[in-house]
Amino acid sequence: MTNNKIPPLVAIGWDGVTWDLLHPWIEEGKLPNFLALMERGSYGPLRSTPVPVSPAAWSTIITGQNPAKHGVFDWFARRPGRYDVEYVHTAHIRARPLWEYANQAGKRVGVLSLPMVYPAVPVEGFMFSGMAAPDAKSPGFAHPPEMLAELESEFGPYQLVEKHIYKYGREDEYLSGVLDWLEYQEKTIHYLIQKYPCDVYSLVFMQPDHVHHKLWRYGDEDFPGYDPKHDAQHKDAILEVYQALDDVLGRLVERFDEANYMVFSDHGAGPMHGVMHVNRWLQEEGLLHLQQNLSTKLKRWLAKTNVILRAYQLVAKLGLGNLAALVSKPARNKLVSSFLSFEDVDWSRTKAYARGAFGQIYINLKGREPGGIVEPGQEYERLCGDILSRLRDLKHPETGESLITGLKRKEDIYKGPYIDQAADIMFSIQDYLYQTSVKFGLESESILGRSEYEDSGTHREEGILVMAGPDIQQGKEISSAGLEDILPTTLALADIPVPAYIDGSPLEDIFEPTLKKRLRFIEEEEGDARQNEDQPPGMSAEEVSELEDRLRDLGYLG
């Protein structure tokens, strides 16, 4: 039963948006609709997950739980008893998500483009998958399924990501693809809202994150290798995307007579000057060893002679997605498998390895890893302490400054049943100025190297939050909110009781007294409350491979 007195809640996710870019542009009057919302409501920073990677962050946003309770830590998930990983999809989100709370309370929910949500799940309302979907044509992309055909007959083929991959020298083409994608998304949103109105909307825009990764250098004169002649021509590229988002926001706000709004990002953004080859460092430290067999030796030799690096750069330039049109699948697989990978690691002599783009080291632990050699307990503790102190001592090879920042161990930051999925040690590299290489980097002269994907921007820990509407006070400062507070705040605004087991809390300090009065907490257990224990179907091998290609093209995978 929908209570007509409760205004709809419109949650708008701007992936990766940062106050660092917003503030100067707001002051210059370039983002009028966003400023209007700020002036009507309250705003501040929003703390991301300890590893600020989108699937972990968005899973916390929709469940209110830390990653050890929802089970999503990165774009990949570890498989028990194996070293290889699988790519995250809806079934990996083990905590109750927004749509279950909303539907159970009789509220309709509209969900669009959450990056790790594929397949879409049956909801009262609608749901369209995000980037974890191999393709919009994949079964399970939308719920109800017929809505996809409906959108396509109105607006043409569904746009899941930008049409062109980024290449230096082809910036305009890339940017116009991003703006087209945004335009398509806006049209579908207005159509869906008008035809299938909901009580709660969760609408995600990935465009800002994509352009931060690819286009940061153009607006940053201090960026290494900045070319004033070429790069300055595109200095406003990211601004153009922010302004387009601002226009989209303005038209969305116009559509509703009265609504509560949340505009937020899952993490921030900043420049990226290169990558650290963490597996190479572990190898230098004697903690990771490669096999001595012929194929691995050959790959090492190829890596050192730069043949593979050049082949790799070619792949990165063309994009695996584009390469698919040119080269057969077996040839493509052969090329990719000629790079050194975890298959070349000698696990019987390896104590630690790195995986993921944001400083994550895993211990080769007996009983957890299939070929684990490190004993749990004392030996594990000693090794973690040893790695932490060696990381602490690491210096930037050129500047001599400390290289490693924000060292953490999983026990200090995560709490919950899925903690074994987490890396054992996490860190940032000069406060995210460098990402972790997703390659072994044996060809590199130094433990630091250039981005394999020509990326010039990456994530930061601090995102943004703006809230406005009839239930939100004006002019309050939001100072210590985290992603885990978004779900309970959403529930409160939608007039749904907030369960006590959620890690986050509603942001009561900025609620109007009327909302504070109707806010309800309940004590139920999450286990009893979960309705949908059925595992959605996994992906076919072909779907997985399409998805991997996309994630590689975007720089998320090695």
Which of 54, 113, 138, 451 binds Zn ion (CB under 5 A)? It is: 54
* Nearer Cβ to Zn ion (266/443): 266
Q: Rounded to the nearest whole angstrom, what is the least distance from the CB of residue 166 to Zn ion in the complex?
A: 17
* Nearer Cβ to Zn ion (41/55): 55
Q: Which stretch binds Zn ion (CB under 5 A): 262-270, 398-406, 432-440, 490-498?
A: 262-270
* Nearer Cβ to Zn ion (463/506): 463
* Nearer Cβ to Zn ion (16/482): 16
Residues between 20 and 39 that touch Zn ion (CB under 5 A)? none
Alpha-carbon dihedral angle through residues 181, 183, 186, 192, given to the nearest 10 degrees? -80
Q: Rounded to the nearest whole angstrom, what is the least distance from the CB of residue 57 to Zn ion in the complex?
A: 6
Q: Rounded to the nearest whole angstrom, what is the least distance from the CB of residue 269 to Zn ion in the complex?
A: 9
* Nearer Cβ to Zn ion (58/353): 58
Q: Which three-class secondary structure state does DSSP give residue 104?
A: helix
* Nearer Cβ to Zn ion (186/209): 209
Q: Rounded to the nearest whole angstrom, what is the least distance from the CB of residue 214 to Zn ion in the complex?
A: 14
The answer to whether residues 490 and 200 touch, using CB atoms and an 8 Å cutoff, is yes
Q: Which stretch binds Zn ion (CB under 5 A): 70-78, 263-271, 466-474, 505-513?
A: 263-271
Q: Rounded to the nearest whole angstrom, what is the least distance from the CB of residue 209 to Zn ion in the complex?
A: 5
Write the single-letter amino acid at 440: F
State residue 362 phi and psi, 5-degree precision: -110, 140
* Nearer Cβ to Zn ion (13/506): 13
Q: Rounded to the nearest whole angstrom, what is the least distance from the CB of residue 157 to Zn ion in the complex?
A: 25
* Nearer Cβ to Zn ion (14/362): 14
Q: Rounded to the nearest whole angstrom, what is the least distance from the CB of residue 266 to Zn ion in the complex?
A: 4
CA distance 320 to 453: 12
CA distance 236 to 234: 5
> Looking at the DSSP assignment, which residues form a beta bridge with residue 200?
9, 109
Q: Which residues, in sequence order, are CB contacts of 523 under 8 Å at separation 6+?
A: 499, 500
The answer to whether residues 353 and 277 touch, using CB atoms and an 8 Å cutoff, is no
Q: Rounded to the nearest whole angstrom, what is the least distance from the CB of residue 220 to Zn ion in the complex?
A: 20
Give the total of residues touching Zn ion (CB under 5 A).
5
Which of 15, 443, 452, 455 binds Zn ion (CB under 5 A)? It is: 15
b (16+ CB within 10 A) / e for 439-457: bbbbbbeebbbebbbbbbb
Which of 171, 266, 503, 553 binds Zn ion (CB under 5 A)? It is: 266
Q: Which stretch binds Zn ion (CB under 5 A): 132-140, 201-209, 398-406, 446-454?
A: 201-209
Q: Which stretch binds Zn ion (CB under 5 A): 169-177, 264-272, 407-415, 418-426?
A: 264-272
* Nearer Cβ to Zn ion (116/340): 116
CA distance 253 to 8: 12
Per-residue x/- marks for Zn ion, 94-133, CB under 5 A?
----------------------------------------
Chain residue at closest Cβ approach to Zn ion? 54
Q: Which residues, in sequence order, are CB contacts of 352 under 8 Å at separation 6+?
A: 282, 287, 288, 361, 362, 363, 364, 383, 387, 424
Q: Which stretch binds Zn ion (CB under 5 A): 93-101, 204-212, 252-260, 539-547?
A: 204-212
Q: Which residues, in sequence order, are CB contacts of 522 under 8 Å at separation 6+?
A: 497, 498, 499, 500
461 touches Zn ion by CB under 5 A:
no
Q: Rounded to the nearest whole angstrom, what is the least distance from the CB of residue 503 to Zn ion in the complex?
A: 19
Q: Which stretch binds Zn ion (CB under 5 A): 20-28, 50-58, 387-395, 533-541?
A: 50-58
Contacts for 238-242: CB closer than 8 Å, 24+ residues apart: 238/21, 238/208, 238/211, 238/212, 239/21, 239/25, 239/30, 240/175, 240/179, 241/175, 241/178, 241/179, 241/182, 241/207, 241/208, 241/211, 242/17, 242/21, 242/22, 242/25, 242/30, 242/31, 242/208
Q: Report the number of secondary-structure helices (H) and strands (E) in the chain.
A: 20, 22
Using a 10 angstrom Cβ sphere, with 0-12 exposed, 13-18 middle and 19 or more buried, the burial of residue 524 is: exposed
CA distance 51 to 76: 13
Q: Rounded to the nearest whole angstrom, what is the least distance from the CB of residue 462 to Zn ion in the complex?
A: 13
List of residues contacting Zn ion (CB under 5 A): 15-16, 54, 209, 266
